[in-house]
Amino acid sequence: MKLKKITLASIVIFLLLMLPVLYLSFVNRASGDDYGYGAYTRSAWMSTHSLIALGSAIWQTIRQCYFSWQGTWFSVLLFSLQPEVFSDRAYFMVAFLVLFFWIGSTLYLFNQILCQNMKLNRWAYLLLTIWFLIISIEFIPSTKSAIYWFNGCAHYMIPFAMCQMVAAWLLSYSKQYKKGVFIGATVFMTLLGGSNYQAALFVLIAAFYIVIADWLLKKDKRIFRVLFPVGFELAGLVVSMKAPGNKVRGGDEFGFSVERGIETIFSSFLKGFEDIRMYFQERPLVFVGLLLLTGLMFLIFSNEKELLFEVPPLLLIIMLFCLYSAMQAPAIYAGVEVSGGVHNMNFQVFLLAAAGSLMIITACLARRIKVRWKRITTVRVQKIILAFVILLCLFLTLIFRSNIKRSTSFICLRYIASGEAEDYREQMNLQTGLMECKEINDIVVPFINDVQGPLMQMPVTENPTAWSNQVTARFYGKNSVVAIERSQWEELYTR
């Protein structure tokens, strides 16, 4: 079996799938929250181009949000640096930045697990990682919050990428205790204390797992140094949770309750099972992808030397499921409606837990079968197994073919091919041109249509006091902004 050729073919498939996703990034534009959080920083940068003034504006944004809306100080810092702060044509960078962090952190984590810990070769590592990325990107619940909307990406996707980096660094540190990875983990964990609660919880649980496992296995006290970054993260988390703005957003009942905390733990496991059932119903191709991933794992592990796990396999699977279920806890505890970013985070951690569990099961299964049937390592038998797995996956894909329409690449391609993406680009170019008109301080724009496909748009309305109108006006330094019907606008302003 030519693993290198299969891997290179998989990379080509991945790149082809990313083409419509990246093409659409050039249509993407800021709106709503992007304008609200970026108003101070845009004003400071456009008027001074000074990093000192920019830093002061960032602090002003964080301080205002801390007392009036939310305490997630690191997320707000990122919000205030959305690309259109620096240029009205810079928002295309969002998708490139997010995919860079998403793909890069996944490659880094899988390299640590597959190459450094499990000693697989680079082609096996790349093959498994590429197909994992295809599954996760293609079937992410919300493309808006995952790829195109800066605020959603900054609050969930970038922290998720940081979580993967921290997990890899902690695994590396438990093996060699290097200062570099310890410093990286400390910095990122501190920042995650001011990010979304799911990300903060993820790295705390990961750190707990690694410290306990390392101590029980090696009795090396150096692993307890990890408690320092844990302490820094908890400090940042306390600062975030104590923000007066949290009660403004979450209501007077926002706060800590032991009773509610215990109820949340049990509810999180139930919600975890419920979400898996939902994935089966709404995204069956995710499990077809996991089946293909399992087949590839089986063939790879069949050619490797005996793979041993320091922690009992069943315990590892339980730990992974607990980590996945814990991602449900913040939303359940808060008891409020959640954004698409929360569902994205749940889905991504589910995939990590599922892929990790399948890896453990497949490695153990391959080891037992190889002992009883050594022919499994022959090229002919492996080709037969691979062909069977691919044909089975193709058959299941045919059965669930309607689910392809919910994939990220298909949604983006349909939006582009229909002409709706180009129409949206023209509408936003017109709106931006009007907003940049220095001679007029009370702006009238035509309504943006409601077809934004995978993109995020919080349009200006006919009410000048509406939130989206106010933040748009403030971002561009205007007195007011209002929208009217396009036909009416053309009649009034295109004569």
Above 80 in pLDDT, residue 113?
yes
Question: d(Cα 448, Cα 457) in Å, to the nearest integer?
Answer: 9
What one-character DSSP code corresponds to residue 194? T
What is the pTM (predicted TM-score) of this model? 0.93
Per-residue tokens: 44 = 């400071």
Percent of the chain with pLDDT over 70: 93
pLDDT of residue 94: 96
pLDDT of residue 243: 86
pLDDT in tens, 388-445: 889 999 999 999 999 999 999 999 999 999 999 999 999 999 999 989 888 888 889 9
pLDDT of residue 306: 63
Residue pointed to by tokens 């293909």:
292
CA-nearest of 315, 108, 357 to 213 is 315
Residue 474 banded pLDDT, cuts 50, 70, 90 = very high
**Bridge partners of residue 446, in order along the sequence:** 484
Lowest pLDDT segment from 180-184, 196-200, 262-266: 262-266
Above 80 in pLDDT, residue 279?
yes
Residue 22 banded pLDDT, cuts 50, 70, 90 = very high
pLDDT of residue 253: 57
Contact between 232 and 58 (Cβ < 8 Å)? no
Number of other CB atoms surrounding residue 95 within 10 Å: 24
Summarize the confidence of residues 167-196 as an average pLDDT: 94
Above 70 in pLDDT, residue 73?
yes
Per-residue tokens: 215 = 């101590």
pLDDT of residue 382: 73
Residue pointed to by tokens 């004569």:
495
pLDDT of residue 171: 94
Residue pointed to by tokens 């569990």:
357
pLDDT of residue 273: 94
Above 70 in pLDDT, residue 376?
no
Summarize the confidence of residues 106-114 as an average pLDDT: 96
pLDDT of residue 308: 64
pLDDT of residue 256: 59
Above 70 in pLDDT, residue 1?
no
Residue pointed to by tokens 């069977």:
388
Regarding predicted confidence, which is higher, 20 or 70? 20
Contact between 110 and 128 (Cβ < 8 Å)? yes
Residue 217 banded pLDDT, cuts 50, 70, 90 = confident
pLDDT of residue 383: 76
Above 60 in pLDDT, residue 36?
yes
CA-nearest of 264, 270, 265 to 335 is 264
pLDDT of residue 32: 87
pLDDT of residue 440: 87
- 3-state helix, strand, coil split of the chain in percent (to 5) is 75, 0, 20
User: How much is the mean pLDDT over the chain?
Assistant: 90
E strand or H helix that includes residue 219? none
Regarding predicted confidence, which is higher, 348 or 244? 348
CA-nearest of 328, 370, 333, 331 to 346 is 328
pLDDT of residue 366: 79
Residue 149 banded pLDDT, cuts 50, 70, 90 = very high
pLDDT of residue 257: 63
pLDDT of residue 311: 77
E strand or H helix that includes residue 111? none
pLDDT of residue 251: 57
Separate counts of helices (H) and strands (E) for the chain: 23, 2
Question: d(Cα 466, Cα 443) in Å, to the nearest integer?
Answer: 14
Lowest pLDDT segment from 118-122, 205-209, 232-236, 330-334: 330-334
pLDDT in tens, 329-372: 988 887 767 788 899 999 999 999 999 999 999 988 877 777 66
Lowest pLDDT segment from 182-191, 200-209, 230-239, 453-462: 453-462
Number of other CB atoms surrounding residue 217 within 10 Å: 12
**Bridge partners of residue 481, in order along the sequence:** 443
Summarize the confidence of residues 178-183 as an average pLDDT: 94
pLDDT of residue 35: 94
pLDDT in tens, 23-35: 999 999 998 899 9
